[in-house]
Structure 1
């Protein structure tokens, strides 16, 4: 594992050592960066360092899971220097362990459940690595972690009570922009600051639901440079309707999904550029829906734990009930 020698990060405390947390030097981000570097090398046709990066990733993954996991709490310790009963189990680092792919599906599910169990309603998800704090910045990582662990309903629940009900509707807020941080008891006090007037009430780092709803609820994910390869995997998590889209140099990616009231199946339409190809993943039974694309009805390539449609050419698709 990388050894962190700096004590500074996003206003969290206790940085340093062999640390799971999401700082520039720490291991979850390092693992993720190496993974992205492999993808960049693939896009550029440069594989000269592939073996070096893969070897480093293997070592980081084994060390983090072997040395920092706390089976009592089903969470990672913050670092290897303090693993006592009073040790911190960080929100940021545990969320990033899922986001970076450091854990298998079972451990990801355990982390997701443990993070949910710490929620403080009606205020949000705590970031104990920064004191008695709710950090929309760190909670944004948690939103992604729940989606990636396969529990979209947890992400939607957290968005609804933390962002919509408290951060936007509380009379002490601006009701139009998002606050930097506050206390776990709902006070507008941010533990890392000694002066409450310093708290930003229009903080860009607090806007994670925008990307989480786009990439995971609507399921619009590009898997290679500019979206030459894409994945469409809607996870509405109890939402009745979601619509999203964006554009890359290859063209427009868009999707509109609805949850059918009677069957619970996700139906809708999506569109990807013609010079692309990708995969559609639906969490429903084979007998539930019909998928139609630019070349007619599409048959699933796999029906284990839902439907998977691979090697789809770019174009307009509809997903309808049978």
Structure 2
């Protein structure tokens, strides 16, 4: 059975009257099972799920549940510092605490956190600063950073066998390390030095986040010690770094992100595919980890940050994914976070109309941050974020007040349109690489802003302005298709200066927004597939961001949306599994329960500051709701809506979507072999919309138990119904069959 994603491509439009009750055909799908996928902790007092000790540690497992004998760490001079590594199993955020029951000597405790275990210790990486004779135990180094007593240290000189010793002491001022046993051969200057496992370190970036870094305690008596706020981490390493002994009965975290239990979800998703379910809830949890509660870190307002750990700033590009994900899952509980983030954009808008890419980026001297006017394209993303808020909430009073600022931003973006109706901007956009000439993606992006603003003006502003926006958008579309399409590639080139470079983002948006020359969809889909790797799609041949990452989940989300839109559900889900499947695999060393900012060509990350809970990567959540389940807003606040499932080979799905008028409930089952498809919809009163179901040759459609009409012809592969709010049970089967 073929399916399509474009509502405009369907065949007969039927009228239908609502039924009386919501009686879904579960076909084995226990709809209450969605609650088991929720990742938020059940209480604000969060404890680790695994622990291990290093050095002299008694009962390292006790902090997991605060039961049993106390955990005791003992460090002696010249010995390995005692430490406990705690694994919380997934991303958490808040203030760590220790409950000490005994303190001996004058101990110093340090606590560091990290999203990935591989970054919670930093090995030494330096060189020998002067030649050292055989028999020596003290060795001069260029740097004594990241050394820890008890670690192994390895010296490697060209043409010689590496020499490994144990560190017994080091002096950061003199930059020397003392080892045992003594060297048994001369060691030349310049020999490289590495250590294992390295010294405790944090993967947080304090200059950007304004929080975090190591916590240092010097306890003198039993009691509770509370660390500073840490925005996002999975691992915590507690080290007794100086001689002494401490015993503790508990080590936990006061959780301070948005703690959503099943009772807090106003929307949910469930399907017959476990991996897709885990993606939906990982996206929702990523957004919860990105939310800053009012009053936290000295800021009175609520905000949506881009990442739990980094940057902990509002970013307009990220909002394009975060806003629909947040409002689809948490509904009006998430709306205040959106509004206050948009308010921060309004407060920092420049006189020329530009919105900052991040209104609160740098927090080195001011917790509220300062604006970063990062990208002209990001300014347009900011305008679209306001439109999205209105589309999902129907908050007309808010958007009406913001309209003058949005019109100013539109005029700013318009200044980059050249005489040929294409956008010329020496700009960086989301993957931080300058693109020059007439840029395909920037031109399509401006087209999108114009179409969004036209819809907004007709819905809540001045309809007369919309015609001008549409005319300009039409001119851009014509120019892009006539000047930037590369018939040899069967795809759009990156720009007028790089016409032979296939880029993922521009071609994905072309699919999503109808920029494809007649009959060329398959060629673009094939061209995009040349960019696929086992870990997701690269940005384009030879393209990477400044840190070396080639796979951007933000861009991959554009492609999955484009594939859904053109009916390639199989390709969309395949790319989802490649890109986000490893992120929801608990066996992956980088698993956090949240989605990652980016990947390199091997499917991992290559720097400690990479964010492993980043909102712009959460597109699977909203796309599984809007494309697979099929529920989308059309009018503001879902006053009108579209329900058009793209099932592919998925057997069943169900979910709810919160709206300004009540909850939309829907559930479907799909048998690709028999051609049977059943859909149950319950939509709120005072709303209306369209319901589209896939059909095949010889299909019969029944609505609320009644035959919709004659046999559906093979000329179309979907049937659409225009309906008002109510309950509908739609069955697609074959004549004479089930």
Q: TM-score, normalised by structure 1?
A: 0.86
Q: Which aligned segments of 4 or more residues in structure 1 are displaced greater than 6 angstroms?
A: none
1:67 aligns with 2:478: no
The answer (yes or no) to whether the contact 1:133–1:184 under 8 Å persists in 2 is: yes
1:231 counterpart (618, 642, 645):
642
Task: Say whether the 8 Å CA contact 2:699–2:711 is kept in structure 1.
Answer: no
1:163 Cα deviation from its structure 2 partner: 1.2
Tell me if structure 1 keeps the 8 A contact 2:635–2:641.
yes
Larger Cα-atom Rg: 2
More displaced stretch, 259-268 vs 138-147: 259-268
Picking from 275, 279, 284, the partner of 2:690 is: 279
TM-score normalised according to structure 2 size: 0.39
| Contact in 2 for aligned 1:241/1:257 (Cα 8 Å) | yes
The separation in 2 between residues aligned to 1:101 and 1:183, in whole angstroms, is: 30
Residue 41 of structure 1 and its aligned partner are, at CA, apart by 2.4
Q: Is the 8 A contact 1:112 1:145 kept in 2?
A: no
Match of 1:106 in 2: 519
**Is the counterpart of residue 319 in structure 1 residue 723 in structure 2?**
no
Residue 92 of structure 1 is matched in structure 2 by 505
**Structure 1 counterpart of 2:611:** 200
Q: Do the aligned partners of residues 92 and 48 (structure 1) sit closer, same or farther apart at CA in structure 2, a change above 3 Å counting?
A: same
2:540 matched to 1:124? no
Q: Matched residues in 2 for 1:288 and 1:231: separation? A: 22
Structure ranking higher in strand proportion: 2
Change (3 A) 1:300 1:91: farther
Structure 2's unaligned 5+ residue stretches are: 1-420
Q: How many angstroms does 1:302 deviate by?
A: 7.8
Q: Which residue of the partner structure matches residue 76 of structure 1?
A: 492
Which runs of 5 or more structure 1 residues have no equivalent in the other structure? 190-195
Q: Which stretch of the first structure deviates more once superposed, 42-51 or 233-242?
A: 42-51
Classify 1:288/1:269 alpha carbon distance in 2 versus 1 (closer, same or farther; 3 Å): same
Matched residue, 1:11: 431
Instruction: Decide whether the 8 Å contact of 2:512 with 2:563 is kept in 1.
Output: no
Alpha-carbon contact 2:425-2:439 (below 8 Å) kept: no
Task: Provide the rounded CA distance (Å) in 1 between the counterparts of 2:724 and 2:712.
Answer: 17
Is contact 1:177–1:202 with CA below 8 Å preserved after alignment? Answer: yes
Q: 1:45 to 1:204 in 2, by over 3 A?
A: closer
User: Quick one: structure 1 residues 34 and 301, their matched pair in 2 at CA, closer, same or farther if it must change by over 3 Å?
Assistant: farther
Report how far residue 115 of structure 1 moved: 1.1
Aligned to 2:372: none
**CA deviations over 1:176-197 (Å, ceiling 9, x no partner):** 12111111232423xxxxxx11
More helix by share: 1
CA gap of 1:269–1:127, structure 2 versus 1, over 3 A, is: same
Q: Distance in 1 between matches of 2:682 and 2:503?
A: 39
Match of 1:141 among 555, 558, 568: 558
**Does the residue aligned with 1:134 lie in a helix, a strand or coil?**
coil
Secondary structure in 1 aligned to 2:685?
coil
* Counterparts of 2:466 and 2:661, CA distance in 1: 27
Q: Secondary structure at the match of 1:60?
A: helix
Q: Is the 8 A contact 1:289 1:319 kept in 2?
A: no
Cα distance, 1:212 vs structure 2:
0.8
Partner Cα distance (1:301, 1:272) in 2:
27
Q: Using CA pairs below 8 Å that are at least 6 residues apart, which structure has the higher relative contact order?
A: 2
Q: CA deviation at 1:309?
A: 2.7
Change (3 A) 1:82 1:261: closer
1:252 to 652, 663, 683: 663
> Structure 2: how far apart are the matches of 1:105 and 1:159?
27
Specify the SS of the correspondent of 2:608.
helix
1:51 counterpart = 2:463: no
3-state SS of 1:157 partner:
helix
